[in-house]
Amino acid sequence: MDQTLNILITFISIVLLLAVVIGIHELGHFLAARKFGVHVIRFKIGFGKTLMSKFDKRGTEFSLGLLPLGGYVQMLGEDNPLQGEEEKEGSSNKLTSYPEVSLGARAIITAAGPVANFLLAIFAYFLIFIIGTKDLAPVVGYVYENSLAEEVGLEVGDRILSIDEKEISKLSDLNEVLASRVGETGTLNVQYLKEERTQELSGSVFIEDWLGSDLNQSIIRSFGISPFSIVEIFEVIPESSAEKSGLLKGDKILGVGGNSIKSIVPFQEVISSMPETNTLLEVRRKDQVYIMPIFIDSFKNNFGVKTGLIGVKIIPSYDEKPQLIVSIKEGPFKAFYMAVEKTYKTSILILDFIGKMISGSVSSENIGGPIQIAQVAGSSAKAGLIPFISVIALISINLGILNLLPIPILDGGQLVLIAAEKLKGSPLSEVFIEYAHRIGLFFVVSLMIFAVFNDFVRLI
């Protein structure tokens, strides 16, 4: 039942996400075309068999396709042999085609799609800041051995203040700044505050082609830390080792085998690494601390390796340390400013990442396709409204930037052709445009195939 529900949630979330992001993109083209009087023949979301369609008073067909993986706005004169000679039924007024309007108008119509995506992202982030969201403070809960964080000198309880002189006030800031250094070589400078002290310390570590060929895990984990959180038991599985040992819902795990635990990920890793082992758990139940013996059961993972488990579902708890939660909720004016800033910073980060892939400093294996988008959409939808809105914003920015790349058949390529026509002073030859579109189509299809291939590789 859970599996069916997860599949249903993932399916609904991916359809909703793509319908919104692609629909807004095409709506940008549509509204701009209407503004300049260009007749729109068809506005379609999705490809393949048409599920439903309806014509408006101006003769535009609005339809939904079976596969929600794209969409288009077909304007009169675009791949249409009539080239503006079609007459509106029952009217003597000649319809205006796309090639008939000025180059400036065509440029605005073409750019309106990506612009609409950026506006959608701004609106999404505006909603997030208005509704209010919570993030974690950048406090270290665990430091992995032989990691960059260990070289810097970070320890459990330290609060990261800045990296490369960029202020870090919450965990998402840390992720964003570290992401900007992926694929780079140089020095990473970290400033941090020791727990229970007012003294600020700093450390640095040299990175070389950092994560350029391996970005399969969390960037923060790759840096070498896990965020601070108390491990709380949310559910005890019946007849499990946890139940036999007397663990209860609400218990907080403070340590395993005499080692302190202050983060969820290390707790999972420690238990997983100790199959069929007897150990001791340090547990706080209400105001009492208990030392409880437990036998760690085992199961074989997908690679046939024994992995430990005790039979509990866990959640992070911050009841005892509310200062670890960073709440963000702003008024409309501040929220709008922050939304614009967030959209801008995310766009710059994506462009930087694309540039690094083109230069080869970041592996192209990081390109994701529809399967990865579906996984992200499904997991964000299950996480709640705010994470799902955040993913809508991120995908919308990606779509806007992708469409602005100077590749024929994409909006950016069309803008390049319009600029070339302006410089030439006369229309480009049909043969040239046809070959340009063929090259662009080949490139885009190849990119899509490569992205889907990467998706399947990740699943294997």
Catalytic (active-site) positions: 26
**Which helix (H) or strand (E) segment is 266 a member of?**
helix 264-272
Quickly list H helices, 360-429.
370-383, 385-403, 411-424
**Closest by CA position to 75, among listed 94, 61, 87:** 61
Tokens encoding 292: 């409880």
**Closest by CA position to 406, among listed 363, 453, 354:** 354
**Contacting residues for 129 by C-beta, under 8 A, at least 6 apart:** 328, 329, 330, 334, 335, 338, 339
Q: Amino acid identity of 213?
A: S
Encode burial over 82-107: b for 16+ CB neighbours within 10 A, e otherwise: eebebeeeeeeeebbbbebbeeebbb
Q: How far from chain centre, in Å, is Cα 400? A: 14
> Any bridge partners for residue 72, and if so which?
44
Please tell me whether residue 143 adopts helix, strand or coil conformation: strand
Please tell me whether residue 150 adopts helix, strand or coil conformation: helix
Neighbours of 63 (CB within 10 A): 16
CA–CA separation, 453 and 175 (whole Å)? 27
**Which helix (H) or strand (E) segment is 435 a member of?**
helix 430-459
